[in-house]
Structure 1
Amino acid sequence: MTILLPKAEWLATLPQAVAVGSMLVTDEDGLVLLVKANYGARAWQFPGGMLDPGEYPTVCAERELAEETGLKCQAAGLLAVMWHIPKESTGPRSVVQFLFDGGRVPADTSVLLQESELSEARWVRAAEAMRLLDDKRGAWLEAALRAQQGEPVQVLAR
């Protein structure tokens, strides 16, 4: 015998995920823009944040970039995806992070930092970015840089 749940109850049983849109922006000299959070682990990361209800990941990445840095770049293409299984800090939710190509900006582009969320921004070479980023974000950057060179977009699981 099959018991059918009302739709709302059935939907509540499905796995949940938090979605994040982020942007990889480089300048004409090939420097990568990183920002440092002033909350949580205070980690270096790419500009980005959680999607608002009904928001597309590309729109989120563009909005978050503008809010956090003052830069207005279009999310030109998907470079890499990071999938995180549920853990204590996310409760029963997985996290999926999309990293989009924000293109190149002039070498002298300044950043207007959103001080309520970020303590610092830096334009750095990829090698320096790898030293500043944690292991998972470093792997994400490597995958994104390979995608910029024409390799397939990767989904990284962490």
Structure 2
Amino acid sequence: MYEPDPYLSGKLEAHGAVFFDAEGRLLVVKATYGVNPWGIPGGVAEPDEAPRATVRREVEEEIGILREPGALLVVAWQPSRRRTLTESQRAAGWSDRLHDGVQLVFDGGVLTSDDIAGIKLDSREMADYAFLDVHEAVERMSPLHARWATAAVHARETGSVVYLENGNAPR
């Protein structure tokens, strides 16, 4: 059995996907938690879970769609940071400090009208969803998540993979 080395630091690993409708609008979801809850479907990886498996699981849990992730679009590293918690999150023992980590964003593709009709939000995690013009969508997100989403859209359009550090291209 694997025993973690207490001297090695933990890293946060989370993955998501960008989805679009036939008009090219970006799917954004509103979480039931957090100060700035709008983002793309996705979440934190479980131990020994591959990134694509994380995306499949999180998308199915959050919006009820089982779909294989497409191409990798964004590799994003973020430094450790503090986050603002709600009273209920504090009461549940959530930490206000997030370790540094890696976020991968995959192409979820274009959802058909049948896919969209089949969206079922997990009410414990998701409060709402919308398909929005990319500029309108990123206005709802935290600055960091907005930069990830914008980079994913650019990568999808150009057929490239974008690497970001703290939401920005390294200099």
- The within-5 A match list for 1:46-65 is 46-65=40-59
Q: Out of 49, 69, 73, which is 2:67 matched to? A: 73
Q: Is the 8 A contact 1:25 1:33 kept in 2?
A: yes
The alignment partner of 1:52 has SS state of: coil
Question: What is the TM-score when the length of structure 2 is the normalising length?
Answer: 0.79
Q: Is the 8 A contact 2:42 2:58 kept in 1?
A: yes
Q: Is the 8 A contact 1:21 1:50 kept in 2?
A: yes
Q: Residues 54-94 of structure 1, C-alpha deviation per residue, up to 9 Å, x if partnerless?
A: 11011111110011001122111111122221234335x21
Letter matched to residue 25 of structure 1:
F
The structural deviation recorded for 1:123 is 1.1
Match of 2:38 in 1: 44
Q: Out of 97, 107, 119, which is 2:103 matched to? A: 97
Match of 1:133 in 2: 141
The alignment partner of 2:15 has SS state of: strand
Instruction: Work out the CA distance in 1 between the residues paired with 2:48 and 2:162.
Output: 25
State the structure with more CA Rg: 1
Q: Residues 3-47 of structure 1, C-alpha deviation per residue, up to 9 Å, x if partnerless?
A: xxxx968x3222320111111111121111111111121420111
Letter matched to residue 99 of structure 1:
V
- The within-5 A match list for 1:134-149 is 134-149=142-157
Question: What is the TM-score when the length of structure 1 is the normalising length?
Answer: 0.85
The alignment partner of 1:12 has SS state of: coil
Structure 1: give runs of 5+ residues left out of the alignment. 1-6
Structure 2: give runs of 5+ residues left out of the alignment. 83-95, 167-171
Match of 2:160 in 1: 152
Q: Is the 8 A contact 1:74 1:103 kept in 2?
A: no
Match of 1:25 in 2: 19
Instruction: Work out the CA distance in 2 between the residues paired with 1:22 and 1:90.
Output: 21
Indicate how the Cα distance of structure 1 residues 77 and 151 shifts in structure 2: closer, same or farther if over 3 A, else same.
Answer: closer
Number of aligned positions between the proteins = 150
The alignment partner of 1:147 has SS state of: helix
The structural deviation recorded for 1:105 is 1.2
The structural deviation recorded for 1:114 is 0.8
The structural deviation recorded for 1:115 is 0.5
RMSD: 2.0
Indicate how the Cα distance of structure 1 residues 22 and 75 shifts in structure 2: closer, same or farther if over 3 A, else same.
Answer: same
